[in-house]
Amino acid sequence: MKINIRPGDTLWYYSRIFMIPLPLIIDSNPGLDFSNLKAGQEIQIPGFMSQSYTVKRGDSFWRLATARNISLDALLLLNQTINPSSLQIGQTIFLPARVISPSRRRDVKYDSALLMSDIQALKNQFPFIQVRTIGRSVEGKPIQEIKLGKGTKKVHLNGSFHANEWITTPILMALLNTFLLSLTNSQSIRGIVTMPLYQSVDLSIVPMVNPDGVDLVLNGPPPGLREELIAMNKGSTDFSGWKANIRGVDLNNQFPANWEIEKERKEPKSPAPRDYPGDAPLTEPEANVMAALAGSSQFDRLLAFHTQGKEFYWGYEGLEPPESKVLAAEFERVSGYKAIQFIDSHAGYKDWFIQDFRKPGFTIELGYGVNPLPLSQFNEIYEEVLGIFLASLYI
C-alpha cells in the first residue's frame, strides 16, 4: 500500500500506527533516504492493501476506523485530500486493509503464467521481497528468484526441476506466503516467532526451474514444436508424465557429479520425456542458470523439492558435512519423512552442490503416489513440509 509522507512523520511512527515491524518498512523502500524524509514522498507500507469505500449515511472516519480496528490516523494518512468533517454520502474514500490471508488459492494447476502473476501479487503486498530474473529457459521464459531476509545464513529452496512434479511450485509459494503473512502480522508459525528468522537468514527461492516443461505437462506442446514433441513422446499427445525440459533433457541429471556414470547407465540415449542426461553436463540453459546461482550466491544449505516418496536424501559420496546429519534428523522429526543418506544416483543438483561446496544439500521427495501427484494431496503435503521449511531456517 502506498502513502504520501506528511510533514513531521517518521517511519517509526508508521510502524507504530500500522503495527508493522520497522525493518520491513525500511526494506520495502530501497533507495529512500530515511534520514531526510520529505513531505509528499511516496512510500510503501507492507502487509496492507488500499481499498476504495463508498461513504454511507452515518459514516465518519472515527466510526470507520473503530469498526475495522485500524488507527484513525492511518485512515487520515490514506485520505489526505479529504476533509474528514464534511464527508458526503456516495463519496469515495480509501481504507487501509491489513492482509491476513493468502490472496489466492494455490491448490490449482499451476503453470508459469500463474506463477508470474502470483509473484507480482506477493511483491505488491510484501514489497520487502526482492524478485529478479536469473536466466531464461530454452523457450525464453524467465526463471525467477525470490529473495528476502537480512541475515548471513544463506538458505536456498527450489522446485519443479522435473516438469511432472510441478506441484512443488505452488507448495513453495504457499510456504512463502505463510512466512510473509507471519512477518507482517507478527504471528508465530507452529510456535516459532519469524521476525528473528528474517533478521538472521538470507532466503532464496527459485519456485520453477523448468517452466517450459511444466507448461508442456499442463497446457500441451507449443504449436511450433507440437509434432517434434509428440514424436519424442512416442506418438502420444498425453504429456502428463513428462519430466524433462522442452528439449527432452532431464535437468536433474545435468550436473557434473559423476555425470558419466548416469550417462552410461541411463536407458535413453537421445532426448526423451525422462531420464536422458544430455550429451554433456550443463548443456541446458535451466541447469546452467542453477549452477551459476549456486556459484555466485554461496548458499549455506540447499533444498531441492521433488515428488514422490515421503523421504529425503541428504548425502553424496561421503562428502556431506557433519551439519547435514543434524539437519536430516530434525527434518525427519518434524515431517515424518524418512531420512536416507545415500542412494545409487549421481548428477543431481544436490549431489553437485555437496560435492563442490561441501555444504548440506537435500532432495526432498514430497507426497506419495504416481507423478504428477493429485492436487487432493496438496494440503497434506503442505502440512508435512512446513516443518522442514521452518527447520531449514532456524537450525
Question: CB–CB of 41/4 below 8 Å?
Answer: yes
Residue 73 · residue 64 · CB < 8 Å: no
State how far the Cα of 25 lies from the Cα of 22, in Å rounded to an integer.
Answer: 5
CA distance 161 to 209: 5
Measured CA to CA, the distance from residue 354 to residue 358 in angstroms comes to 5
Taking a C-beta distance cutoff of 8 angstroms, is the pair 360, 324 a contact? Answer: yes
Specify whether 365 is catalytic: yes
Task: Single out the residue of 308, 15, 1 nearest to residue 165, CA to CA.
Answer: 308
**Radius of gyration for the chain, computed over Cα atoms and rounded to the nearest angstrom:** 24
188 closest CA partner among 68, 196, 128: 196
Write out the three cell numbers for 357: 561446496
Taken as a whole, the chain contains a residue count of 395
CA distances 26 to 8, 71, 98, 263, Å, are 17, 20, 18, 50
The shares of helix, strand and coil residues in the chain, as percent rounded to the nearest 5, are 40, 15, 45
Select which of 165, 284, 330, 365 is catalytic. 365
Q: What is the DSSP letter of 49?
A: E
Rounded Cα–Cα distance for residues 279 and 263 (Å): 8
DSSP string, 111-165: -HHHHHHHHHHHHHH-TTSEEEEEEE-TT--EEEEEEE--SSEEEEEEE-SSGGG
Show which residues are catalytic: 365
